[in-house]
Every structure is written in structure tokens, then in C-alpha cells.
């Protein structure tokens, strides 16, 4: 594997984890907090 393709893969993984982090923060956390309030 070339250095260029390794950099592209690392960049894609970083973008994916950033996207997933924001995705879960905006969509998943409200659901979890609502479930948590309901359980209490």
C-alpha cells in the first residue's frame, strides 16, 4: 500500500468517526435520556 492510500484511509476513518459521533449526539442521546427518565 502506498503512503497516499494510507492517508486517504486514515482520513476516511476519522471523518466516519466524527460523523458517527455527531450523528449519535443529535439522534441517539435524546432517545437515551427519554428512556432513562422513563425507567426512573
pLDDT at position 24 is: 75
Residue entry with cell 484511509 = 9
Using CA atoms, how far apart are residues 3 and 1, in angstroms rounded to an integer?
7
pLDDT at position 10 is: 93
pTM above 0.75, yes or no: no
pLDDT at position 25 is: 76
pLDDT at position 1 is: 65
pLDDT digits (tens, 9 = 90+) for 1-40: 688 899 999 999 999 988 888 877 777 777 777 887 888 7
Amino acid at each position: 500500500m502506498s503512503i497516499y492510500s494510507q492517508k486517504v484511509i486514515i482520513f476516511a476513518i476519522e471523518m466516519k468517526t466524527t460523523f458517527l459521533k455527531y450523528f449519535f449526539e443529535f439522534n441517539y442521546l435524546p432517545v437515551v435520556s427519554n428512556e432513562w427518565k422513563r425507567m426512573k
